């Protein structure tokens, strides 16, 4: 297993194209022709809707990428895959097996800690085979408008269970056409980053911790699901 952090590879400033360039270092690290057996994108994101899921972790496989810049010069895109639901090659059994593993779910929930602002009424792992992660790429302020527009676009494309709204999961998905899942820490609701999470250590840390706990417990399930 290899663990890579995009911010360790380059100063991207949130630029989606620079993230892709940075990740090419991963592919070239050992053998340019090699590819991973599976890919897990890990990061923070917002959760749509009024009820708070702050502090929860979400796992899904399907990605929806929307260009928030509407094709501005220099913007990054994944030709042929924009504004469409991109399914994962991870077997559906992975999601159903984790969902049915009550011992694992209880273990995850018992180790989660509450964030400072608007914590979810129940801290838990939210995982489903139909879960969709939205990547609103090439974003510029106001982020709320861009994210809200991306959600509408995803729903129009058929997404019914959106559990992650951010910028990077889809960029990672574009790099390798291999079994893929996203593991998302939820520190805030969509459009509430400024008042719920921005610069608040006691919000970001617990949320990331909880997603890390979830990842720790589901890795064996993922490995089993993608094993030859």
In this predicted structure, what is the pLDDT of residue 32? 60
pLDDT for 96 beyond 70: yes
Q: Is there a domain that residue 85 lies in? A: yes
Q: Is there a domain that residue 87 lies in? A: yes
pLDDT for 187 beyond 90: yes
Q: Is there a domain that residue 33 lies in? A: no
Q: Is there a domain that residue 193 lies in? A: yes
Please write the tens of the pLDDT for every residue from 124-168: 999 999 999 999 999 888 899 999 999 999 999 999 999 999 999
Q: Is there a domain that residue 143 lies in? A: yes
What tokens appear for 107 in the block?
A: 């273990």
Tell me if 25 sits within 8 A of 165, measured CB to CB: no
Task: Indicate the pLDDT class of residue 65, thresholds 50, 70 and 90.
Answer: very high
pLDDT for 33 beyond 70: no
Q: Is there a domain that residue 29 lies in? A: no
pLDDT for 99 beyond 90: yes
Structural domain of 137: 40-226
Q: Is there a domain that residue 12 lies in? A: no
Give the CATH number of the domain where residue 132 resides.
3.40.50
Q: Is there a domain that residue 156 lies in? A: yes
Tell me if 147 sits within 8 A of 189, measured CB to CB: no
> Measuring CA to CA, how many Å separate 178 from each of 36, 39, 53, 138, 173?
7, 7, 29, 24, 9
Mean pLDDT (the chain) is: 95
Share of the chain above pLDDT 70, in %: 98
Please write the tens of the pLDDT for every residue from 37-57: 999 999 999 999 999 999 999
- For the chain, the domain total comes to 1
């Amino acid at each position: 297993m290899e663990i890579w952090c995009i911010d360790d590879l380059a100063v991207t400033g949130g630029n989606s194209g620079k993230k892709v360039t940075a990740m090419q270092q991963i592919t070239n690290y050992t053998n340019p022709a090699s590819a991973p057996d599976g890919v897990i994108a890990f990061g923070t994101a917002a959760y749509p809707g009024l009820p708070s899921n702050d502090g929860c972790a979400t796992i899904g496989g399907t990605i929806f990428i929307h260009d928030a810049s509407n094709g501005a010069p220099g913007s990054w895109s994944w030709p042929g895959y924009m504004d469409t639901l991109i399914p994962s090659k991870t077997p559906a059994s992975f999601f159903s097996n984790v969902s049915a593993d009550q011992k694992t779910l209880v273990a995850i929930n018992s180790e989660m800690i509450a964030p400072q602002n608007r914590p979810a009424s129940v801290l838990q792992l939210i995982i489903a085979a139909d879960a969709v992660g939205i990547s609103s790429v090439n974003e510029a302020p106001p982020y709320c408008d861009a994210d809200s527009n991306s959600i509408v676009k995803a729903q129009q494309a058929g997404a019914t269970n959106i559990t992650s709204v951010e910028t990077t999961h889809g960029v990672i998905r574009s790099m390798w056409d291999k079994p893929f899942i996203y593991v998302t820490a939820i520190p805030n609701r969509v459009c509430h980053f400024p008042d719920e999470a921005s610069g608040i250590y006691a919000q970001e840390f617990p949320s990331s911790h909880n997603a890390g706990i979830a990842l720790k417990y589901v890795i064996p399930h993922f490995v089993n699901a993608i094993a030859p």
